[in-house]
Chains A and B, each alone.
Chain A
Amino acid sequence: MVENNTKIVAFLCNWCSYGAADLAGVSRMQYPADIRVIRIPCTGRLSPKFILSALREGADAVWVSG
């Protein structure tokens, strides 16, 4: 395990941002490997509890996009 790397939990909407993350890959855009994506059906699905629990589990940041 690499020390001190940040962890960002990304809750991405299946219909837009998840697709955008896919497209970033297709376009070979390079970005730091700190993000862990959790696919959700819609940002409407996102309970504030998910954000809080991600932070509690040690995430340095939570990114919600949709």
Chain B
Amino acid sequence: MVTFKLNGKEVQGEDGQYIIQVAEKYGVEIPTLCHHKALEPAGMCRICTVELFDGRRTKFVTACNYPIWEGMQINTNTPAVHQGRKLIVEMLYARCPEVPLLKKLAKEYKIKEPRFPKQDDDCILCGLCVRMCERMGNSAISLTGRGTDMKIDTPFGLQSDVCMACGACASVCPTGHITLEKIKNEFTKQHPFMIPSEYEMGLKGRKPVYVPYAQAVPNTPAIDREVCMHFKSGGCGVCSDICQMDAIDYTMEDEIIEIDAGAVVLSPGFTPFDPSKFDNYGYANHPNVMTAMEFERILSASGPTSGHLTRMSDHKEPKKIAWFQCVGSRDMNKCDNKYCSSVCCMYALKEAVIAKEHAGDDLDCAIFYMDMRTHGKDFERYYNRAQDQGIRFLRSRVHTVDPLHDSDDLQVTYVTESGEKVDEIFDMIVLSIGLEISPEIVDMAKKLGIELTDGNFAKTSTFKPVETNKKGIFVAGAFQGPKDIPQSVVDSNAAAGEAGAMLASARNTQTKLPEVIPETNIIGDRPRIGVFVCKCGTNIASVVNVPNVRDYAATLPYVEYCSDNLYSCSQDTQESMSQIIKANNLNRIVVAACTPKTHEPLFQETLVNAGLNKYLFEMTNIRNHASWVHKDTPELATQKAKDLVRMAVSKVALMEPLEEAELQVNPVAMVIGGGISGITAAKTLAQQGYHVHVVEKDQRLGGQANNLFHTYKDEDIAKELGSLVQEVENNEKIHIHLNTTLEAVEGFVGNFKSELLCNKEPSSLEHGIAVIATGAKAYIPNEYEYGKDDRIMTTLDLDKRFIDRDPSLKALNAAVFIQCVGSREPDRPYCSRVCCTHSIDNALALKKINPEMEIFILYRDIRTYGEREYKYQAAREAGIIFVRYALENKPDIQLKEGKVLVTVTDHVLGQPLEIEADLLTLATAIVPNKDERLANFFKVPLNEDGFFVERHAKLGPSEFATDGVFLCGLAHYPKPIDEAIAHGQAAASRAVTLLAKETIHTSGNVANIDPMVCSSCGVCVSICPYAAPSFATQGRFEGTAEINPVLCKGCGLCVASCRSGAIHLKGFDTNQIFAQIFAMNEAV
């Protein structure tokens, strides 16, 4: 250790260090242009000149390459030093008067005009690039020439392969002399290119060392070996030098890890279709033709344009954008993807709506489509709203995009519905690309022996929607078929559930329990607060003055211990924190670091390891909320960090140890509804080892599936349903209650008690969870003369005749199907999802019986999503005629002279078409039961249409916000059998996550009522969305409200609503928040 004086203060450094390194450690700033941490110093720019007193005389040395020695005295900021630096700056400025950095320095040193003749160079010959290039292992450039001719160049000024175009020289050049252009034109023979950021869809570059995207988990950088110079030349290694944690190990190799698994779930996902092969759209050549995935990045606030809607070629704000649907989907002409990708209509709609939100209402958005397929929950409403917002929908498939010669705009030629040819110019084209399975995945499937469909998706059956042909291998997500997020989440839950069912006997055999550390009782103790301020490497410390914040924290009331850490979250810091807490008897902890949303649990665990209750903790975010967002104002950021620490300290002093109530879960499930979804859920639950009670109001199981003929995959529903029902009936863990209704429910997650009524016989049932699978019913039409003629029937009526093998079907000459009967109407603005496929399937079945039969399907949009599209193709090939009608021009039915006459305006001819139908099938809507009573029993919501509202439209499709209540089947939204079964499995799987826990720990952050202050007004009881408060029915405080901590989610709604101030929210109590507010403005 070497001790010397820096600006009069005694400082210490390691032997062999240079002055600048020690100064940096002590926060003393010394300017430099040519110094780089990772390189040996060269003392080229001379700006780092400081004054050295060696005991006898003073002299000037360059701080970057002058080694420290015992007893030396350094001054960095004397007038003489300043004068010296000023002269250097003046000379450099004269050499390079246009370089922004030197302009800035000149201004700092108050130089208006240099006294030397101005030149027009932009290189200060600092040689940083040369040293960096050497470090890269290449030495492709050096300082060549002598005297005034000296410059940076390659040997003999020749471009060569020695320069690997890594760009390191450009990245360190302080003046901007070396640019990528210069490298390309003067240094290298190779092709310099931007490393495309995968996350930004290549619209932006990234470094060889990178975090894939801001929210990546784990949020650890990775090295891209393909482009990293260390792996190419063996040089560089800068990252390893700089990393203070020594985390970088270049010798790491790919490992093959063997996992002994009982089941495998395949969820490899899809690959967006690559439209560059479509030369007619010009995607590969024209920057303003982009894919929808790229456009997503343009719309994103964290994207390459920060969410500002501009086009790529000239950064102009577009006025007109067109979307082309079905690019790489429903196409056998230019590609092999004949399936529908299911999600593109909806994402194009969303992009158009958001684009309008970003750019304002005058943005013209046009969507070119074949059929608008908005068959998901609440999607049709979104479509209607988009139409109301003025988004144009053009039913046309555009053939070619023609770039205009005199601008970056694009001309599109298309044919309107009325047959007119139109030329229109757009600023941007977005291609709604489809989903496909990549060759690597197909390869993997082959290796695993997984059967694939025509579209290369994993083949599954309707009744086993997540099982592949290989036992024990399950599939989830887009690999099973193109699908959106909720359906993928359903699948993944279902696959996990089915895999879990297979492995149920092995549950808890590989569990390891952590050591329990006894909790110190701190009640009544004076607060002893420990404050840990994190540097987060340089993430915080480079802006916020961490030692300053630490020292400030030490002055705050009750603070007994303060320290700063390089990385508070590292394993060793965690251990030392735990030791510090014990050694100093700390009983409240503040960590000023990053966000509690990701790191609070980690530090709470540290508290627990130190024997403290985990709620005696407060975290404040001085990284995301200070250093990262105020990097140009370090003083203000430091000030803010101090304020935040003070606020946290004043809050934590008021924190109390909180208890997490433990609650036993009754391992019994109740499934309401014995339809196909409900009994599937029951079966999965029973397979997982739980007793299940199925409550069915009807006299038999099976629900609506009893009325259905066969699936679109030609499976016999009656047969499959029969064996499922039999399996369920024979399972001793499944208890079936037929002819039974649910009369009342009380209790909460883990401990429900329901009253059942069977043939006027009441009984009660205790259960830990409930699955709502109450299904839906068929719409009974009052339009199209239904009920007035036997030849007019609903889809289910027709199925019945198929089931009964009705011989009269063979004798029909003409059959007509009308789609959207009761669906997509103003009264029922949703799509019933199943009817298009069902009608087409039935039409094909009729054709099979009598190939001569004339069949017409009158439709609005055909929505045969995913591989159902093949059926649509088959139907057209079989000669079934599809006639489109509009909502405002519905088909007309006349019963005349014993005939059923259907008149519809043909969309191609524009002429009315009259069909004499022997069979008219109405594809009727699926109508929810709108069971408000049931909704009220479990405090779960219904949507406007009467379907139940799940916890989260995308991420929680099989459960409710109310804990312990799950959802599946048609009660959620219309769906075909395969999806209903997957949904049943998913709901069961979600339920098992709760049942398997055996006990539930509630959060400590719950509300609590002081009965002495409660006025019994009942606002809390009325307002709580989770039914946590109720009136005490016994005891001293009978009549006042009390809160069930098990149901409480800690939102604090009741606390704010309580006029009497009787409710406290533990962890966010009023006095704690007040303490933060009061601490906010304290003078520092």
State if A and B touch, Cβ cutoff 8 Å.
Answer: yes
Residues of chain A at the chain B interface (Cβ within 8 Å): 1-2, 5, 7, 9, 14, 18-19, 21-33, 35-42, 44-47, 50, 53-54, 57-59
Interface residues of B in 990-1026 (CB under 8 A from A): 1005
From B596, B624, B1005, B1053, give the contact of A24 (CB < 8 A).
B624
Q: Is A45 in contact with B1083, judged by CB distance below 8 angstroms?
A: no
Q: Is A28 in contact with B1080, judged by CB distance below 8 angstroms?
A: no
Query: Is B1050's CB within 8 Å of the partner chain A?
Result: yes
Q: Is B625 in contact with A21, judged by CB distance below 8 angstroms?
A: yes
- Please, which residues of chain B bring their CB within 8 A of the CB of A57? 1077-1078, 1080-1081
From A18, A33, A37, A59, give the contact of B637 (CB < 8 A).
A33
From B597, B628, B1050, B1080, give the contact of A41 (CB < 8 A).
B1050
Q: Is A31 in contact with B639, judged by CB distance below 8 angstroms?
A: no
Smallest Cβ-Cβ distance to A24: which chain B residue: B629
From B629, B639, B1056, give the contact of A46 (CB < 8 A).
B1056
- Please, which residues of chain B bring their CB within 8 A of the CB of A58? 1081
Smallest Cβ-Cβ distance to B1023: which chain A residue: A44
User: 13 A-B pairs, CB-CB below 8 angstroms?
Assistant: A2-B639, A18-B597, A21-B621, A26-B624, A30-B631, A31-B629, A31-B630, A35-B640, A37-B644, A38-B1077, A41-B1065, A45-B1065, A54-B1080
Smallest Cβ-Cβ distance to B646: which chain A residue: A36
Given A23-B214, A33-B640, CB of A45 within 8 Å of CB of B1053: yes
Given A36-B643, A41-B1065, CB of A30 within 8 Å of CB of B1080: no
A45 to B1057, CA, bound (A): 8
- Please, which residues of chain B bring their CB within 8 A of the CB of A7? 1080-1081
A47 to B1070, CA, bound (A): 9
- Please, which residues of chain A bring their CB within 8 A of the CB of B647? 36, 38
B1068-1084 vs A: 1/0 string, CB under 8 Å? Answer: 10100110111011011
Q: Is B625 in contact with A25, judged by CB distance below 8 angstroms?
A: yes
In the assembled complex, the CB of B623 is this many whole angstroms from the nearest CB of chain A, namely 6
Q: Is A14 in contact with B214, judged by CB distance below 8 angstroms?
A: no
Query: Is B636's CB within 8 Å of the partner chain A?
Result: yes
Q: Is B644 in contact with A36, judged by CB distance below 8 angstroms?
A: yes
- Please, which residues of chain B bring their CB within 8 A of the CB of A50? 1073-1074, 1077
Query: Is B509's CB within 8 Å of the partner chain A?
Result: no
- Please, which residues of chain A bring their CB within 8 A of the CB of B1083? 1
- How many B residues are at the interface, by size bracket? 35 or more
A38 to B625, CA, bound (A): 11
Interface residues of B in 1019-1063 (CB under 8 A from A): 1050-1053, 1055-1056
Q: Is A38 in contact with B636, judged by CB distance below 8 angstroms?
A: no
Given A40-B1068, A58-B1081, CB of A45 within 8 Å of CB of B623: no
A29 to B307, CA, bound (A): 12
In the assembled complex, the CB of B120 is this many whole angstroms from the nearest CB of chain A, namely 34
A23 to B76, CA, bound (A): 39
From B597, B640, B1081, give the contact of A59 (CB < 8 A).
B1081
- Please, which residues of chain A bring their CB within 8 A of the CB of B643? 36
Given A41-B1051, A42-B1053, CB of A27 within 8 Å of CB of B1076: no
A1 to B1081, CA, bound (A): 11
Smallest Cβ-Cβ distance to A1: which chain B residue: B1084
- Please, which residues of chain A bring their CB within 8 A of the CB of B628? 25-26, 28
Given A36-B1080, A37-B625, A54-B1080, CB of A27 within 8 Å of CB of B214: yes
Smallest Cβ-Cβ distance to B595: which chain A residue: A22
Smallest Cβ-Cβ distance to A56: which chain B residue: B1077
- Please, which residues of chain A bring their CB within 8 A of the CB of B636? 2, 5, 32-33
- Please, which residues of chain A bring their CB within 8 A of the CB of B644? 36-37
In the assembled complex, the CB of B814 is this many whole angstroms from the nearest CB of chain A, namely 57
- Please, which residues of chain A bring their CB within 8 A of the CB of B895? none
Q: Which interface residue of B595, B1050, B1084 has the most chain A CB atoms within 10 A?
A: B595
Query: Is B911's CB within 8 Å of the partner chain A?
Result: no
Q: Which interface residue of A9, A14, A27 has the most chain B CB atoms within 10 A?
A: A27
Nearest 7 CB-CB pairs, A to B? A25-B624, A45-B1052, A44-B1053, A33-B636, A42-B1051, A25-B628, A26-B214
Q: Is B1051 in contact with A33, judged by CB distance below 8 angstroms?
A: no
A2 to B1083, CA, bound (A): 11
Not counting A18-B597, A22-B625, A27-B301, a sample of 17 additional A-B residue pairs whose C-beta atoms are within 8 angstroms of each other reads A25-B624, A26-B214, A26-B215, A26-B624, A28-B631, A32-B636, A33-B640, A35-B625, A38-B647, A39-B596, A40-B1052, A41-B1068, A42-B1051, A44-B1056, A45-B1065, A50-B1077, A57-B1077
A5 to B638, CA, bound (A): 14
Q: Is B632 in contact with A37, judged by CB distance below 8 angstroms?
A: no
Q: Which interface residue of B625, B643, B1053 has the most chain A CB atoms within 10 A?
A: B625
- Please, which residues of chain A bring their CB within 8 A of the CB of B1073? 38, 40, 50
In the assembled complex, the CB of A25 is this many whole angstroms from the nearest CB of chain B, namely 3
Q: Is B626 in contact with A19, judged by CB distance below 8 angstroms?
A: no
A39 to B1073, CA, bound (A): 9
A45 to B1005, CA, bound (A): 12
In the assembled complex, the CB of A24 is this many whole angstroms from the nearest CB of chain B, namely 6
Q: Is B629 in contact with A28, judged by CB distance below 8 angstroms?
A: yes
Q: Is A33 in contact with B630, judged by CB distance below 8 angstroms?
A: yes
Q: Is A30 in contact with B302, judged by CB distance below 8 angstroms?
A: no
In the assembled complex, the CB of A7 is this many whole angstroms from the nearest CB of chain B, namely 7
In the assembled complex, the CB of B1044 is this many whole angstroms from the nearest CB of chain A, namely 17
- Please, which residues of chain B bring their CB within 8 A of the CB of A40? 1052, 1068, 1073
Interface residues of B in 291-326 (CB under 8 A from A): 301-302, 306
A21 to B622, CA, bound (A): 12
B121-145 vs A: 1/0 string, CB under 8 Å? Answer: 0000000000000000000000000
A57 to B640, CA, bound (A): 17
Query: Is B520's CB within 8 Å of the partner chain A?
Result: no
Given A22-B621, A26-B214, A41-B1050, CB of A9 within 8 Å of CB of B597: no
In the assembled complex, the CB of B1052 is this many whole angstroms from the nearest CB of chain A, namely 3
A47 to B1061, CA, bound (A): 10
Q: Is B302 in contact with A27, judged by CB distance below 8 angstroms?
A: yes
Interface residues of B in 630-668 (CB under 8 A from A): 630-633, 635-637, 639-640, 643-644, 647
Q: Is B597 in contact with A47, judged by CB distance below 8 angstroms?
A: no
A36 to B1065, CA, bound (A): 22
Q: Which interface residue of A7, A18, A33 has the most chain B CB atoms within 10 A?
A: A33
- Please, which residues of chain A bring their CB within 8 A of the CB of B637? 33
